[in-house]
Amino acid sequence: MPIDTHVHTKGGEDGNKILKAMDALGLERIVLMSQPPSWSLATGRDEEVGHRAVIEDIARIITPDPERMLGFAWIEPTLPDAVNAVDYALGEKGLRGVKMLPNHWYPDDPRAQACYARINDYAAPMLFHTGGLWKWGNTSKYCRPAEFEIMMDYPQIRFVMAHMSNPWQDECLFVCHKLKFLQRDRELEWTSYIDIGVSGYRDFGRDYLRKALYFLGGGRLMACSDCDSPEDPKAYHYDRAREEEILREAGASDETVAGILGENAKAWLGIT
């Protein structure tokens, strides 16, 4: 996994310590996401931080090497400054992309679409949490993969459905497959990607990976850790040999394994 596409921060981390952890693991790059601007909306914790503060924090963290630590801003579209926050993150601060978690709003919410329209202008990549949400309350319903068909209306955004939308992996594969053909028919770039993080395949066997390789090929799948302590190498739960073994057991070729562990992420991120 030369590129880990899904790494969280809690705020206040030291970028140099993160780089040391990456070096210990042999990671070329990571996608490093800011903490949420509203912990109460994201997790239920009674803590408000604000978009500007979390964007400034992630920009500070990645300062030692922003080409290895690719900063993503967590945008909460229901906050009144969300669209301005997109401009602040992608424009003024030069972050690479946006993360969103729809835990109390649906992906076609007009407030979210106002943010997508601005992100589309930047042609920036996005990462969505999709699938079950391990949080108190009736929240998982907002993260069903079929809801993300709205992203066909924003063809400049290359977006990721995280965790292979566990437990709705089949629905996730259908959505990605649908976009492949409908966007091709309109001579558009195929914009959907899937990260196969911990809940995507380790807990439920190789069948989902086999289906993904059959329906989509290997070019849309990306490995990740979903790590939330990026200064600690052990928190990444990363063993390259084990990752490769799982992928090969699912039928992936050497070329496909190399893509899933890094090259596909470069295409998503727009790295040449």
For the stretch 58-100, pLDDT in tens is 999 999 999 999 999 999 999 999 999 999 999 999 999 999 9
Q: Is CATH 3.20.20.140 correct for 3-269?
A: yes
Amino acid, single-letter form, for residue 207? D
The tally of CA atoms less than 13 A away on the side-chain side of residue 128 is 34
Q: What is the pLDDT of residues 135-162, one digit of tens each?
A: 778 889 999 999 999 999 999 999 999 9
pTM for the structure as a whole: 0.94
Using the structure block, give the residue that is written with the tokens 């302590």. 229
Q: Is the pLDDT of residue 199 over 50?
A: no
* Per-residue pLDDT tens digits for 179-189: 999 999 999 99
Residue with the bigger pLDDT between 232 and 197: it is 232
The percentage of the chain sitting over the pLDDT mark of 90, rounded to a whole number, equals 76
Q: Residues 230-264: pLDDT tens digits?
A: 999 999 876 777 778 888 888 899 999 999 988 99
Determine contact, residues 95/55, Cβ cutoff 8 Å. Answer: yes
Tokens, residue 7: 């790494």
What whole-number distance in Å separates Cα of residue 147 and Cα of residue 26? Answer: 36
DSSP conformational letter for 29? E
CA neighbours closer than 13 Å in the CB half-sphere of residue 267: 19
